[in-house]
Amino acid sequence: MKKILSLEELENSTNKTLYFTFDEKIEGIDCVTPIYADLCAKSLGDFVEISGNVKGKVLLECDLCLDKFEYELDFELDELFSKDSLLGDYEEAGQEFEIKEGQFVTDLNGEKEIDIYDLLYQSVILSFPNKKVCGINCKGREYLTEEDSITDPRLEVFNNLQINPKNS
């Protein structure tokens, strides 16, 4: 499995393009199945584009009932990397660079490698829904009892807090 993309290898490849797959679980993410990514890296002069499809299943915790549920991943990855801190050069020269909707440019700051493992980790995390709900019929926390609720012991200091209004 290729986890590191060498910019030198990319520059020396046919048509300055490399194709590779990623098929393993990512540490720090509760994966049900390995994360599968079919990726293409292209050198575009001052930039490197990595694009492809990412699929897999992960376990998420429902924000309403706190139960675990499976979430299906299936999204397109399209990332742009700037070689040699060139974004600053474009800004200083007053040149414009078009970025597609939803696309960010990551400055490599002179690095000669791109960590594909880290790129996939970040992309998977960012693909999670803002509100993680196990299903449309989830009743939420109304079924939790007092014993089920989790209390942070650091907040106990506020249990005896008394607020006295100022007399003017």
Q: For every one of its 168 residues, what pLDDT tens digit does the chain have, with 9 covering 90 and above?
A: 448 898 899 899 999 999 999 999 999 999 999 999 999 999 988 889 999 999 999 999 999 888 999 999 999 999 998 887 654 544 554 455 555 555 567 777 778 889 999 999 999 999 999 999 998 888 876 655 555 555 677 878 777 777 777 765
DSSP state, residue 130: S
What does residue 163 show for φ and ψ, rounded to 5 degrees? -110, 120
Tell whether pTM > 0.85: no
Spatial distance between the Cα atoms of 98 and 83, rounded to a whole number of angstroms? 16
Domain ranges of the chain: 4-158
Q: Are 22 and 120 in contact (CB under 8 A)?
A: yes
